[in-house]
């Protein structure tokens, strides 16, 4: 089995348009959740989200590209550009032939669906633009990334709701670890902050109207965000040979299915994913210093997650720092695990734990160190990143400092 390291990272989300801005926001505990701005927002009862307001697509893409790139693809390509540039890799010959792309997204081109349904249903139009299908499909971002950088290896999209990008990164990790490819580009993207996208979530009655306060007793639901994060996963020796800058190591992963309920999480399913991931990474529970929580800010997730962590880590659970950065960037659904991996990088590489902001009151059912409101300096050797999706699909990654 090969060892796998991260040699490039890129992101765009509501608290930063690249990794360094995002890291600064994590350090400052800055909230990117604001009033949503898009057509018909006044007809929603949920009017807040982690929307990227100061992003101008036409500064990055030409008209032809924009006709094919849904916003979720645009965000993917912005993040990928940063990650691949940082890695210093240029893809041609055998490297291009073996390098692939595995990305996660839950909804794909949601605003493309939304805009065109509006055109045919509401405006009564009888024709839509010919690129509607290639623009909205869940593999559009993956394919455009592959085309742009000449990546011809194993390439596909994973869609497991809120765990999509963790499942995707687990697949990419597996491909590099098993020596199938020396390099994989991976991560995830989501952009469903449009009328239909938010209206659908509103229907579930799990959304907060004012803030995302994970683990806080007065939490009242999740807040949606949008964004993307992309990473270059590379085989350790391959990275060393070319003198690459190594950000951190990916040590292991596990996936599990609750096989129980389509929306309610299960403590056992989450606990199995965490403990199997530690086993896969051959890491002792006492060595884990930081958990990037799924931490959605819903009543159900947060207590189930804390209880699963307590089960897996036993007494050590009291010493672990666990934070949810969704309090800052919102729940980026299929892209959330990828953006949250940036917080794991911050913990491992820079020794700074991103806080759970908006934390106001202790909840006895979430009695862990949730790093409330302020970032903290701490040396962390191992970090894990949790993602527990609707449908009971769980994926946990284990990372190590280099």
Partner 1 sequence: MDIRSKVIEIIADQAIIETSDVSDESTLEGLGIDSLGLVESIFAIEEAFDIQVPFNANQPNESSFDLSSVATIVQGIEKLIQEQS
The residues annotated as belonging to the active site are 162, 294, 331
| Smallest separation (angstroms) from partner 1 to the CB of 265 | 43
| Smallest separation (angstroms) from partner 1 to the CB of 308 | 48
For partner 1, which residue of 130, 203, 243, 364 counts as binding (CB under 8 A)? 130
Q: Which residues contact 40 (CB under 8 A, 6 or more apart)?
A: 195
| Smallest separation (angstroms) from partner 1 to the CB of 125 | 9
Choose the stretch contacting partner 1; rule: CB under 8 A; options: 30-38, 125-133, 179-187, 265-273. 125-133
Q: What is each CA distance from 261 to 245, 258, 307, in whole angstroms?
A: 43, 7, 18
Q: Which of residues 131-160 bind partner 1 (CB under 8 A)?
A: 131
Residue 146 vs 276, nearer CB to partner 1: 146
Q: How far apart are CA 195 and CA 283, in angstroms?
A: 44
Bridge partners (DSSP) listed for residue 400: 249, 382
Q: Does 127 bind partner 1 (CB under 8 A)?
A: yes
* DSSP state letter for 119: I
Q: What does 286-317 look like in DSSP terms, one character per residue? A: GGEEEEE----S-HHHHHHHHHHHHHHHGGGG
Backbone torsion region of residue 327, taken as left when φ is above 0, otherwise alpha when ψ lies between -120 and 50, otherwise beta: alpha
Q: Which three-class secondary structure state does DSSP give residue 241? A: helix
Residue 68 vs 97, nearer CB to partner 1: 68
Count of residues near partner 1 by CB under 8 A? 6
Give the residue from 156, 158, 162 showing the smallest Cα distance to 270: 162
For partner 1, which residue of 24, 45, 67, 362 counts as binding (CB under 8 A)? 67
| CB-neighbour burial class of residue 131 (10 A; exposed 0-12, middle 13-18, buried 19+) | middle
Choose the stretch contacting partner 1; rule: CB under 8 A; options: 107-115, 127-135, 324-332, 341-349. 127-135
Choose the stretch contacting partner 1; rule: CB under 8 A; options: 25-33, 128-136, 137-145, 200-208. 128-136
Residue 120 vs 200, nearer CB to partner 1: 120
Choose the stretch contacting partner 1; rule: CB under 8 A; options: 129-137, 157-165, 172-180, 354-362. 129-137
Q: Does 129 bind partner 1 (CB under 8 A)?
A: yes
* DSSP state letter for 33: -
Q: Does 58 bind partner 1 (CB under 8 A)?
A: no
Q: Does 64 bind partner 1 (CB under 8 A)?
A: yes
136 is written with which tokens?
């909205």
| Smallest separation (angstroms) from partner 1 to the CB of 156 | 23
Residue 186 · residue 230 · CB < 8 Å: yes
Q: How far apart are CA 231 and CA 338, in angstroms?
A: 8
Residue 141 vs 384, nearer CB to partner 1: 141
Residue 67 vs 284, nearer CB to partner 1: 67
Give the contact letters, 255-274, x = binds to partner 1 (CB under 8 A), - = no: --------------------
| Smallest separation (angstroms) from partner 1 to the CB of 127 | 6
Residue 26 · residue 354 · CB < 8 Å: yes
Q: Which sign does the torsion angle of CA 155, 161, 166, 170 carry? A: negative
Residue 38 vs 131, nearer CB to partner 1: 131
Q: Does 39 bind partner 1 (CB under 8 A)?
A: no
Phi, psi for residue 378 in degrees, rounded to 5: -165, 145
| Smallest separation (angstroms) from partner 1 to the CB of 110 | 22
Query: Which residues here bind partner 1, judged by CB under 8 A?
Result: 64, 67, 127, 129-131
């Amino acid at each position: 089995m090969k060892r796998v390291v991260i040699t490039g990272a890129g992101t765009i989300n509501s608290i930063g348009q690249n990794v360094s801005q995002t890291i600064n926001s994590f350090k400052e505990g800055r909230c990117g959740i604001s009033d949503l701005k898009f057509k018909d927002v006044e007809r929603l009862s949920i009017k807040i989200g982690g929307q990227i307001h100061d992003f101008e697509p036409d500064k990055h893409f030409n008209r032809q590209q924009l006709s094919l790139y849904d916003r979720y693809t645009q965000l993917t390509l912005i993040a990928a550009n940063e990650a691949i540039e940082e890695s210093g890799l240029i893809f041609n010959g055998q490297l291009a032939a073996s390098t692939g792309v595995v990305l996660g997204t839950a909804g794909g081109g949601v605003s493309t669906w939304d805009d065109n349904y509006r055109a045919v249903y509401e405006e009564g139009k009888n024709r839509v633009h010919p690129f509607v299908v290639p623009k909205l499909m869940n593999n559009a971002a993956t394919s455009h990334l592959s085309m742009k950088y000449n990546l011809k290896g194993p390439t596909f999209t994973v869609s497991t709701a809120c765990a999509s990008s963790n499942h995707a990164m687990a697949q990419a990790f597996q491909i590099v670890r098993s020596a199938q490819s020396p390099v994989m580009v991976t991560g995830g993207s989501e952009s469903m902050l449009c009328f239909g996208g938010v209206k659908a979530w509103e229907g579930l009655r799990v959304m907060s109207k004012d803030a995302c306060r994970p683990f806080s007793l007065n939490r009242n639901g999740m807040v949606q965000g949008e964004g993307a994060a992309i990473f270059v996963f590379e085989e350790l020796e391959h990275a060393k040979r070319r003198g690459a800058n190594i950000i951190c190591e990916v040590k292991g992963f596990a996936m599990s299915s609750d096989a129980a309920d389509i929306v309610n999480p299960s403590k056992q399913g989450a606990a199995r994913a965490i403990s199997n991931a530690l086993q896969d990474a051959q890491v002792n529970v006492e060595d884990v210093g930081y958990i990037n929580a799924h931490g959605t800010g819903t009543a159900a997730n947060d207590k189930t997650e804390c209880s699963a962590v307590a089960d897996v880590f036993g007494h050590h659970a009291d010493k672990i720092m666990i934070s949810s950065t969704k309090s800052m960037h919102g729940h980026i659904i299929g892209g959330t695990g990828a953006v949250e991996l940036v917080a794991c990088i911050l913990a491992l590489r820079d020794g700074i734990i991103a806080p759970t902001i908006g934390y106001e009151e202790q909840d006895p059912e979430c009695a862990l160190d949730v790093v409330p409101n302020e970032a903290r300096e701490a040396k962390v050797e191992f970090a894990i990143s949790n993602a527990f999706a609707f449908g009971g699909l769980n994926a946990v990654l284990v990372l190590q400092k280099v």
